[in-house]
Amino acid sequence: MKICSNPNCESSFLFGDNKTTCPFCHAPLIDNNGAAITQQLITPVDVVFDSEPEEDRPFISCSLGSVECTGRIIEIEHQALFYSKIHKLFNTIIRGEPFQLAHQSVEYTIRVEPIVDGIPTEVTDFCLYGNYLGRLQVGDEVHIKAKDCGHRRIARSIVNLSTGSPVKPGLQISAPVIRTALLAVLMAIVILAYLLVQLVASGAVTALFISLIAAIMPIIICIVGLGFLFRSIFPSRRRRRRW
């Protein structure tokens, strides 16, 4: 059995002989002469970390613009900005950001590293939109499903493996929903415009306009006749001229 050689490491676990570095501080492990005495009192850390083989959980897997990542959070940064509704709608349609219903637009950037037994050799960043305050902490192990937008990866769903619960933002509308609704409205406008052009080309609109004029003209003539009749019965008094 081995123990961590770093005196400042608070780990009290015993490690197996196949381990070489401490998973907490990444310091080298050394042999523990008293391991046989304390083995019954301390649970070996191999039981904790080897419950699921690391090779079965890849750090990043990409497929058709979608990204899945399982790792540990090492940094969290966030900012809150005030945008107009038009600006937020533009960001949703063009940049793929969720449309947040709150007054502020909150954006998080989390940096994730793989869960390995040695020093991590790669890290990646994810963008989160919404309110995640207090539900993600540095050191939490997470499983993230994101959309790869080329210059950034926007998280779609997050599961906090440390707490065993999904992490969801506040009230917001995803970009695919708004894009689909906008596309449906544009298609409806195009179809209505096409039908209107077809009606004009077929002469149906002209016939309808003539029929409408023919139906309204008698009513207009009756109103004008009643107006002349009323003025003849009740003539207006002319003002007398003053000399």
Instruction: State the distance between the two ends of the chain, measured CA to CA, in whole angstroms.
Output: 130
What is the predicted pLDDT for the residue at 56?
A: 59
Three-state DSSP class for residue 9:
coil
pTM for this entry? 0.56
* CATH of the structural domain 55-175, one choice from 3.30.160, 3.40.390, 3.40.50, 2.40.50: 2.40.50
What is the predicted pLDDT for the residue at 49?
A: 45
What tens digit of pLDDT does each residue of 139-156 get? 899 999 998 887 889 999
CA–CA separation, 175 and 90 (whole Å): 10
Mean confidence (pLDDT) of the chain? 79
What is the predicted pLDDT for the residue at 37?
A: 36
Three-state DSSP class for residue 132:
coil
Looking at 12-21, 105-114, 170-179, which range is the least confident one?
A: 12-21
Mean per-residue pLDDT, 102-126: 87
What is the predicted pLDDT for the residue at 238?
A: 53
Phi, psi (deg, nearest 5) at residue 93: -75, -45
What is the predicted pLDDT for the residue at 236?
A: 60
Mean per-residue pLDDT, 61-81: 89
Stronger pLDDT, 132 or 55, i.e. the higher one: 132
Looking at 100-114, 170-184, 226-240, which range is the least confident one?
A: 226-240
Burial of 208 (0-12, 13-18, 19+ CB in 10 A): exposed
